[in-house]
Amino acid sequence: DAGVTQSPTHLIKTRGQQVTLRCSPKSGHDTVSWYQQALGQGPQFIFQYYEEEERQRGNFPDRFSGHQFPNYSSELNVNALLLGDSALYLCASSWNRGSYEQYFGPGTRLTVT
């Protein structure tokens, strides 16, 4: 049973560039949430996708956008990167009707220079 997978593992970008991160949910899950984790802090909710629509959004600017595909996989896009966007980006999947528990992938470490 495949767990949540994310790609790439690491990424280095320059300030002002754009980045796309990818996530495949755990088998049987239909909902994907994205979180940002800065060093020494807990994960912060960015947004959640269900049925290919953004269902809920945290306190992040419009530079952060996402997409969910018919196979439930998801992308997180960040435009006009700032140094402060350097963080671990985590994807979590869940089953909308089955449980409120969320399962995380290994994360993508983004460094903005």
Partner 1 sequence: DQQVKQNSPSLSVQEGRISILNCDYTNSMFDYFLWYKKYPAEGPTFLISISSIKDKNEDGRFTVFLNKSAKHLSLHIVPSQPGDSAVYFCAASRLYGQNFVFGPGTRLSVLP
Residues that bind partner 1 (CB under 8 A): 4, 6, 31, 33, 35, 40-45, 48, 55-56, 58, 90, 94, 96, 99-107
43/78 with CB nearer partner 1: 43
Minimal distance, residue 56 CB to partner 1, in Å: 5
CB 91 within 8 A of CB 85: no
* Contact partners, residue 55, CB within 8 Å, separation at least 6: 31, 47, 48, 49
> Could you tell me which of 106, 92, 107, 108 has the C-alpha nearest to residue 29?
92
Measured CA distances, 32 to 16, 41, 63, 76 (Å):
27, 21, 19, 11
56/113 with CB nearer partner 1: 56
Minimal distance, residue 16 CB to partner 1, in Å: 28
Minimal distance, residue 18 CB to partner 1, in Å: 24
Minimal distance, residue 83 CB to partner 1, in Å: 22
14/90 with CB nearer partner 1: 90
CB 11 within 8 A of CB 19: yes
Specify which residues 87 forms β-bridges with: 110
75/106 with CB nearer partner 1: 106
